[in-house]
Structure 1
Amino acid sequence: MQYEGVLKKMQTEIGSPIQYYLVFETDFLNMNQVLDNQLRIEFIKHQCLNCGNDRPIYRQGFCKSCFFDIPSAGEWIMRPELSTAHLDKEDRDLEYEKKVQLQPHIVYLANSSNIKVGVTRKAQIPTRWIDQGAHEAIEIVEVPNRYLAGITEVALKDHVSDKTNWRKMLTNEIEEQDLVDWRNKLKAYIPQEALPYFIEDNTETHLEFPVLQFPQKVKSLSLDKTPTYQGTLKGIKGQYLIFEDNTVFNIRGSEGYYIGLTIN
């Protein structure tokens, strides 16, 4: 089987295990069905996810020009505490920013390699947890806009990490945690503006990933350095493909790369 197209983050479907789909312009592939098969990945060109031009990808699947221009790459995406739509204040495109920022957001705890705090739109639960490779997660607060979620995350970062150790996540060096207990302990540090939105009566969500074999020592595949790679797919976790030779390939980190994919 042969496929060709620009890489975008894999779409997912909750299940036991989670189902992963690689979606191209005119076709899609259920990646769970090709576990234990040989995959050949060949870099063909760049294709910016915004302008579609063959330009080097700068960040988030965009060329440098688009990254610093389009509203969907504003700094508030990565730093939600910088959101200003609730003040009717524009960053790059107020209409777009209101659409994204002025909707319910969740501050959550996820355990992938360690306990971390994060922010996502409510509509992105549990997709966000899956993308981070979290085997368990829980919501802490549900607020009406991105700004309140952002200042809550900033406050909690003094007491719990906001980063995932992706190498530990992929080698499955995990430790079970009582996330309900963590949620309750962190309540004391939630800003007063967000405290009325604290969630007191939920339980952990547990996630199962389709992995036949975890890597012993992670080797990251970069299409810039290795434009052609072939290996046997042994698992999928987060947005990573895991191969038998300990190579891992970050699909989301390679958005905007146009590839050929052959499955034997």
Structure 2
Amino acid sequence: MQYQGVLKKMATENLESVQYYLDMGADFLNVNQLLNKTVSLSFVGYECLSCGEPKEIFRQGFCKSCFFESAKAGDWIMRPELSKAHLGIEDRDLAYEKQAQLQPHIVYLANSSNVKVGVTRKSQVPTRWIDQGAHEAIELVEVPNRYLAGITEVALKAEVADKTNWRKMLKNDIEDADLTEWREKLKHLIPEEAQEYYREEAKEMHINFPVHQYPEKPKSLNLVKEGSYRGKLVGVKGQYWIFEDQTVFNVRSNEGLVVAISV
């Protein structure tokens, strides 16, 4: 079987074990069905996820001009505390920013390599946790806009990390944590404007990933540099494909690449 298309973040479904799907344009692959099979990946070219032009990808699936011009790549996306749509202030496109920012957001605690704090739209729970490879997560607050979520995350970063150690996550070098206890311990850090949105009733969620073999020393595949790769797929966690020889491929960080896949 051979497929070709533009890489985009895998869609997921949180069942007994997470189901992963890759949209290749003309084809829609259930990646779980590729487990324990030999898969070949080849770099074909680029296609910007914003303008659709065959321009070299700069960051986040965008060419350089779109990264600095598109409303979908504004600084407030990576730094929610910079959101200003609630004030009616435009960054790049106020209509888009209102749509994206003025909706319920969750500040959460997740455990992937360590306990970390993060922000996501309510509609992206539990997708965001799956994408980060978190085996457990819990909601901390549910606020009506992205700005409130952002300032809450900044406040909590005084005592808890906001990054995932991807190598530790992929090695499954993790420990279970009592996230309900963590949430209570961090409650006092929530800014006054967000205190009323505290989610005391929220329960801890557990997530199982389809991994048959974890790598001891994961090595990241640079498909553009290597041109092609062939290996036996033994697991999927977060947005990573895990191969038997300990090579790992981050689908999300390679968005915008046109690739050929054969099984």
Question: Matches of 1:225 and 1:245 in 2, distance apart?
Answer: 18
Q: Which residue of 2 aligns with 1:237?
A: 237
TM-score normalised by structure 2 residue count: 0.99
Q: Which residue of 2 aligns with 1:174?
A: 174
In the alignment, structure 2 segments of 5+ residues that lack a partner are: none
Matched, 1:58 2:58: yes
Across the aligned residues of Structure 1 and Structure 2, the Cα RMSD in angstroms comes to 0.5
Residue 74 of structure 1: aligned partner: 74
Write out aligned runs for 1:1-264 (5 A): 1-263=1-263
CA distance in 1, matches of 2:67, 2:200: 39
CA distance in structure 1 between the partners assigned to 2:66 and 2:203 by the alignment: 40
Per-residue Cα deviation, 1:159-199 (whole angstroms, up to 9, x for no partner): 00000000000000010100000000100010000000001
3-state SS of the aligned residue for 2:223? coil
Matched positions, count: 263
- Secondary structure, counterpart of 1:36 in structure 2: coil
- Per the normalisation by structure 1, the TM-score is 0.99
1:5-59 superposed Cα distances (whole Å, 9 cap, x missing partner): 0000000011110000011111111010110000000000011111111111111
CA distance in 1, matches of 2:201, 2:223: 45
CA distance in 1, matches of 2:224, 2:3: 20
In structure 1, what residue type is equivalent to 2:237? K
In 2, distance between residues paired with 1:222 and 1:46?
A: 14
C-alpha separation in 1, matches of 2:29 and 2:142: 34
Once the two structures are superposed, residues 220-243 of structure 1 have per-residue CA deviations (whole angstroms, 9 ceiling, x without a partner) of 001122110000000000000000
Partners of 2:21 and 2:118 in 1: CA distance: 24
Give the C-alpha shift of residue 119 in structure 1: 0.1
Secondary structure, counterpart of 2:3 in structure 1:
strand
SS of the aligned residue for 1:224 comes to helix
Gapped runs of 5+ residues in structure 1?
Answer: none
SS of equivalent residue, structure 1 residue 194: helix
Aligned partners of 1:219 and 1:24: how far apart in 2?
25
Residues of 1 paired with 2:188 and 2:206: CA distance?
Answer: 25
Shift of 1:76: 0.1
Distance (whole Å) between structure 2 residues aligned to residue 81 and residue 221 of structure 1: 33
Per the TM alignment, residue 79 of structure 1 is displaced from its structure 2 partner at its CA by: 0.1
Please give the alpha-carbon distance, in whole angstroms, between the structure 1 residues aligned to 2:225 and 2:246: 17
20-29 or 127-136, larger mean C-alpha shift: 20-29
CA distance in 2, matches of 1:189, 1:260: 48
**Distance of 2:132 and 2:51 partners within structure 1:** 27
Deviation of 1:203 (Å): 1.4
Tell me the secondary structure at the aligned position of residue 33 of structure 1. Answer: helix
Secondary structure, in 3 states, of the residue corresponding to 1:211? coil
Q: Match of 2:223, as an amino acid?
A: L
